[in-house]
């Protein structure tokens, strides 16, 4: 009997699987074209042996492409095959390409700080606050709010888009939703410090929830840039937006939350994910109170209630939490100090003059006066300043 074994990394969405299949099948087609005398697995293995070194993330992605591609290839062919033995040949050749890359040669994602200290987070927050208030920079304020709250709520940055706060329950969309995954998760933040709770409410008020995904991604880069420049100004390690998701997960573990609770707070499907890919408990910040997963979020599952609450909170007077000593800066339009724009008539006149001077194919339109005869030129005048003699 054929054994079509799914990847061991956990369930993936149908869209993700289709993407892996498409890439994998293309690789199979190319490998068989290059080595028609070999079996499909040997052809793929030979292609991998011809390739250069790969970093760990690329190996993982290629492994999923090849696995799903082979599964679909054998399914279409109706072949009875021991898939484990077949894939082992390809997987070994791919694993041999995994390189040990020195720190200086690693990609940016591999350099991201996963163990930000409480002191680093505190310094970064106060620098972003100082800069935002000094220069009226609202994006710097938003970056400061992100630093304050993300280490407690543990959201992925994109999950701010569509997040809502009802009372003391924070709802977050699950950005990496998979089969069997709820569309949202709910956090009880009642135990958090009042400034953190106010910061969450203020952050959700200030951001634009109606942005498209590309627009929100562009805004994320702006916030990340504010954080990066602030880190450089105060001389600390370069913290990223995701650094604070690591902080939150490590702090939950340090506070004694169970793997199941952390899984629900993170929006994971497996209790192993946080332990495998995120910072451990020893890197967490020591906190007396942390967020907890909500088992029964019935009070906020109604989208109409969420929308009414968001609109009501948006229309209420905006007050700054206690950690801001001054009012938040308002958006300011820069005064237009540039030259006065041309009118339509001025643009048309200029266009006609340019065409008259440059349209050599139509002499009748050329208005430039003919040059005087060479005998009439004042040869003592400077080049470009010559004038008819006696004028």
Q: What is the pLDDT of residue 337?
A: 64
User: Whole-number mean pLDDT of the chain?
Assistant: 78
Q: Which of 106-110, 204-208, 338-342 has the lowest mean pLDDT?
A: 106-110
Q: Quick check: 81 and 207 in contact, CB under 8 A?
A: no
Q: Give the predicted TM-score (pTM) of the model.
A: 0.57
337-353 average pLDDT score: 76
Is the four-CA dihedral 362, 363, 366, 368 of positive or negative sign? positive
Read off the pLDDT of residues 7-29 as tens digits, 9 standing for 90 and up. 444 456 677 888 899 999 999 99
Decide if pLDDT at 107 tops 80: no
Read off the pLDDT of residues 169-224 as tens digits, 9 standing for 90 and up. 999 998 877 766 788 999 999 999 999 999 999 999 888 888 888 888 889 999 99
Nearest Cα neighbor of 191 from 241, 163, 153, 164 is 153
The residue behind tokens 């028609």 is 36
Q: Where are the domains of the chain?
A: 14-105, 112-315
Residues 6+ apart with CB under 8 A from 20: 12, 64, 65, 67, 68, 69
Percent of residues, the chain, with pLDDT higher than 90: 38
Kindly report each contact of residues 254-260 with a partner whose C-beta sits within 8 Å and lies 24 or more positions away, as own/partner: 254/281, 254/282, 254/284, 254/285, 254/286, 254/287, 255/284, 255/287, 255/290, 257/290, 257/292
Q: What is the pLDDT of residue 381?
A: 38
Architecture per CATH, 112-315: Orthogonal Bundle (1.10)
Report in angstroms the alpha-carbon separations of 129 from 182, 311, 352. Answer: 36, 27, 54
Decide if pLDDT at 287 tops 90: no
pLDDT higher at 129 or 180 = 129
Q: Which of 31-35, 208-212, 328-332 has the lowest mean pLDDT?
A: 328-332
SS3 readout for 225-242: HHHHHHHHHHCCCCCCCC
């Amino acid at each position: 009997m054929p054994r079509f074994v799914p990847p061991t990394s956990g369930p993936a969405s149908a869209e993700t699987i289709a993407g892996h299949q498409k890439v994998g099948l293309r690789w199979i087609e190319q490998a068989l074209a290059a080595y028609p005398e070999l079996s499909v697995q040997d052809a793929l293995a030979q292609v991998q042996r011809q390739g250069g070194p790969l970093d760990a993330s690329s190996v993982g992605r290629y492994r999923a492409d090849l696995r799903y591609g082979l599964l679909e290839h054998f399914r279409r062919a109706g072949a009875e095959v021991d898939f484990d033995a077949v894939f082992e040949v390809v997987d070994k050749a791919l694993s041999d390409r995994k390189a040990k890359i020195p720190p200086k040669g690693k990609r940016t994602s591999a350099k991201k700080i996963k163990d930000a200290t409480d002191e680093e987070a505190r310094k970064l927050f106060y620098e972003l606050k100082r800069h935002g208030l000094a220069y009226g920079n609202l994006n710097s304020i938003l970056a400061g709010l992100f630093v304050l709250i993300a280490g407690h709520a543990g959201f992925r940055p994109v999950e701010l888009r569509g997040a809502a706060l009802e009372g003391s329950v924070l709802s977050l969309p699950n950005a990496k939703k998979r089969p069997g995954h709820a569309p949202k998760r709910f956090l009880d933040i009642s135990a958090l410090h009042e400034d953190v709770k106010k910061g969450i409410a203020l952050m959700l008020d200030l951001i634009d929830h109606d942005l498209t995904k590309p627009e929100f991604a562009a805004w994320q880069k702006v916030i990340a840039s504010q954080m990066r420049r602030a880190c450089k100004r105060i001389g600390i390690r370069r913290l990223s937006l995701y650094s604070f998701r690591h902080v939150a997960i490590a702090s939950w573990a340090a506070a004694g939350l169970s793997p199941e609770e952390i899984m629900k707070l993170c929006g994971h499907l497996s209790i192993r994910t946080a332990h495998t890919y995120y910072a451990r408990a020893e890197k967490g910040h020591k906190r007396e109170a942390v967020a907890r997963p909500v088992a029964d979020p019935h009070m906020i599952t109604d989208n109409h209630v969420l929308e009414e609450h968001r609109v009501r909170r948006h229309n209420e007077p905006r007050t700054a939490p206690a950690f801001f000593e001054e009012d938040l800066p308002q958006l300011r339009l820069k005064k237009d100090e540039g030259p006065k724009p041309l009118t339509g008539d001025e643009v048309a006149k200029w266009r006609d003059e340019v065409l008259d001077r440059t349209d050599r194919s139509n002499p009748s339109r050329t208005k430039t006066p003919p040059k005087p005869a060479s005998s009439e030129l004042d040869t003592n005048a400077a080049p470009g300043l010559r004038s008819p003699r006696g004028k």
